[in-house]
Amino acid sequence: MDRLIVWVAAAFAGGIALARATTLSAYAWLLIGGVALAAAAASGRAARASVLLLLAGLASTGATLYAIEAAVDPRHPLVAASDRAVTVTGVVAYPPLRRGDRIRLIVRVERLRAGGEERPVGGRILVYARGGPHLRYGDRVRLRGFLRRPGLPGNPGEFSQRDHLAAQGIHAVLFAGRGTSVRVVGRGRGNAVLAAAYALRARMAAFFSSVLPGERGALLDSLLLGDDGAIPRSLRDAFARAGLLHVLVVSGAQVGLVAAGAVWLARLARVPPAVQTSGAAAAVVFFAVMTGWVPSVARAALMSLVGLAASATGRLRDPCAALAAAALILLASSPLLLADVGFQLSFVATWALLYVSPAVHARLGCLPPAARSLVAMTVGAQTAVMPLLAFHFMQVSVTGYLANVAVVPLVGLIVPAGFLVAVAGLLLPPAGAAGALLLGPVLDAVAALSRLFAALPLAVVEVPPLAPAGLAASAAALIGAVEWLRGGVRLRRAHLLAAGFGLVALLLWGQIASARAPARLSLTMIDVGQGDALLARGPSGQTMLVDGGGEIEGRPTGYDVGTRRLLPALRRLGVRRVDVVMLSHPHEDHVGGLVPVLQNFSVGLVLDTGVPHPGPSYVEFLRLVGARPIPYRLARRGMQVDLGDGLILSILHPQEPLLRGTSSDANLNSIVARLTFGSVAVLLTGDAEAATEAQLLDLGDDVRSLILKVAHHGSRTSTTPVFLEAVRPAVALISAGTMNPFGHPDAEVIERLEDAGAAVYRTDVHGAVTVTTDGTRVTIRTVRDAGGR
């Protein structure tokens, strides 16, 4: 009976996955579920058919709930008021996260004022603000700012902020201004239990930072309470590269210690068993709420509650059944969680510990018992999550196996000792401080080991994008390997030969299909926010990257566009080598993302204007070009680059002498180039301005192009009517960031392009845009529809 819950949870999750992959409405899924359940009732004694139909009904239930939750009512006031200045009154629903003068908080909305009308409203919003008063959970606040829907993915396979926030019941984001845009109008409006939990967490974090200042206290805070935002970014990156990021997440170890500690105290007090169970359950829920109820904590807490119930009733003793019950409860409460990476990693890792690790453990009889358990747990969990990491991040850590064997025992020592120190610090601060000092060297060792393993050559291995079919195949292979280890599957030589021949045939077929594919040019304008990045892949397979995005000139935020957006996009597009990097001009929003490209890809040639610029990214860009070294050429009028199979890049601008001493030397000397393939031409304009366009026309160049990469993000300084008349584009591509401070693209430029007969595609609206041509016909794909903003 215990395993029935596993089938129920699997059917429910499968229904959610089906709903995500289709466009059926909630009504359609409800009808399908009703038919399945009616058929099950009519099947009579056909037990197997009845069970299958019941499971189909459960799958339809999951799909129905997903369709309901995913369909946001556009008439809801918080959604309808998007893209408008509003005033919101509400209560802070979770302790705010503050980094410097930046603050991030979740607000439960009570009233909304938009367009001069104020009315009561329900729902939650995410708020980004700068400066302002000190805020805490339960404060009633009044906020003024700009309301928007959460962002959709801009590039293929990218993280969806909208889905992530929707799983938390958040469907709008408010960008508040500085200082007086945030006002406290009341205190203590939150739930008393939640207030106590968050206050205890704040006291513990404050104690850690006082007795262990700097990196030590931040690391202990993260290991015990899951607040990895406090540790330095460099250390967090080291944990990620070493395959140790999971130890910074609160999960089963911490929750289990809380449950065990509560039971031990209850037994020490000689209270009845029922009170012991209830007290332990209350402690687990309190701790889970205190640490934020993230998927890993929620999973561990629910499994602990199921385990406590099993202990009290003598039922449901199977840990896999407890895991399935936890998954079912979480997915029923929020079906959108199925797509959450944290949810997936947490459940897959726990499943591996329950299913994979015992099979590995049985084959390690040569090791001492403690070492055997540690190695089996590490091999099981790391192997199981590796396909997921490849699927989501296109990276795996080979050193993660060794790193976990070295670091997990130290973390296993720190976590219980840290909780004892925390309790002592709250009750008897001198004793807690003394204990914390003893933990200092162990915390240092964990940090040092993470940095050591992160620096090894195989710490991060780039892998090709893994398709869903590949993910399923990896899971099947892992299950097959486990069953073989357990003796349930016997592999004969014929089976191995058949599998080998099948793999070779598959690889050969892929090569043949690729060779027979028609010659095409594809252009992908990658969404890098307020910047430019365009990838061209020619029929010969050669690739050219034009610009790489970056921060807005003079407005540093610390957000690494190249690492966080451009590199993943290039990998998902299958790029392994960049044959040509063309930097149109050295402004930060064009060169910043190219620095990590030079660091992570083999580059065949760099084309640059050579216009001096003091920006830090351009300085580093030139240093990397010289240090690697990479062939470097100044792009000048008349130059041509043959990209193979009829694809030619012709440089139209700049020409000698370069323009000097103007207020915009970099833009005016921007590279303007024309790609030609068959009868299709593409005009690449960088940030060229009106004077550059006029010069090109005066020189009599043939600038007619079916596709125009619009200059300067659609600024009014470019794309003059006379230039458009000469180009005559059918497709116009504009790279601009959502809510950029310059108002790009300019409405007049958009109107001008549309009047010229061009179909306009924008990254701030459509996300990444891919144009594919065989030299005659053109097809266009976008990551998102314009109506989905």
The Cβ of residue 508 has, within 10 Å, a number of other Cβ atoms equal to 10
Distance of CA 297 to the CA centre of its chain: 19
Helices assigned H by DSSP within 22-110: 26-42, 47-70, 77-80
Query: With contact defined as beta carbons under 8 Å apart, do 742 and 715 qualify?
Result: yes
User: In Å, what is the CA distance from 12 to each residue of 5, 89, 261?
Assistant: 10, 38, 34
Distance CA 526, CA 566 (A): 7
Q: What is the pLDDT of residues 70-122, one digit of tens each?
A: 888 888 899 999 889 999 999 999 999 887 778 999 999 999 999 888 999 99
Distance CA 144, CA 89 (A): 9
Q: Does domain 77-190 have CATH number 2.40.50.140?
A: yes
For residue 629, cis peptide bond before it (omega within 30 degrees of 0): yes
The Cβ of residue 401 has, within 10 Å, a number of other Cβ atoms equal to 18
Q: What is the 3-state secondary structure (H, E, C) of 184-249?
A: EEECCCCCHHHHHHHHHHHHHHHHHHHHCCCHHHHHHHHHHHCCHHHCCHHHHHHHHHCCCHHHHC
The CATH number assigned to the domain with range 521-788 reads 3.60.15.10
Q: What is the 3-state secondary structure (H, E, C) of 94-126?
A: CCCEEECCEEEEEEEEEEEEECCEEEECCCEEE
Q: What is the pTM of this model?
A: 0.86
Distance CA 208, CA 745 (A): 49
Residue 780: helix, strand or coil by DSSP? strand
Predicted pLDDT of residue 1? 46
Distance CA 335, CA 326 (A): 13
* DSSP tally for the chain: helices H, then strands E: 28, 27
Edge-to-edge strand ranges of the sheet holding 543-546: 632-634, 606-608, 580-582, 543-546, 534-537, 521-525, 769-773, 778-782
Predicted pLDDT of residue 518? 67
Q: What is the pLDDT of residues 181-239, one digit of tens each?
A: 889 999 988 899 999 999 999 999 999 999 999 899 999 999 998 876 678 888 988 99
Residue whose entry in the numeric block shows the structure tokens 């007090």: 269
Please give the single-letter amino acid code of residue 642.
Answer: D
Low-confidence stretches of the chain (pLDDT < 50) are 1
Distance CA 87, CA 145 (A): 7
Q: Are strands 140-148 and 117-120 parallel, antiparallel or unpaired?
A: unpaired
Rg (the chain; Cα; Å): 29
Q: Are strands 648-653 and 672-677 parallel, antiparallel or unpaired?
A: antiparallel
Query: With contact defined as beta carbons under 8 Å apart, do 549 and 533 qualify?
Result: yes
Query: With contact defined as beta carbons under 8 Å apart, do 519 and 647 qualify?
Result: no
Query: With contact defined as beta carbons under 8 Å apart, do 19 and 63 qualify?
Result: yes
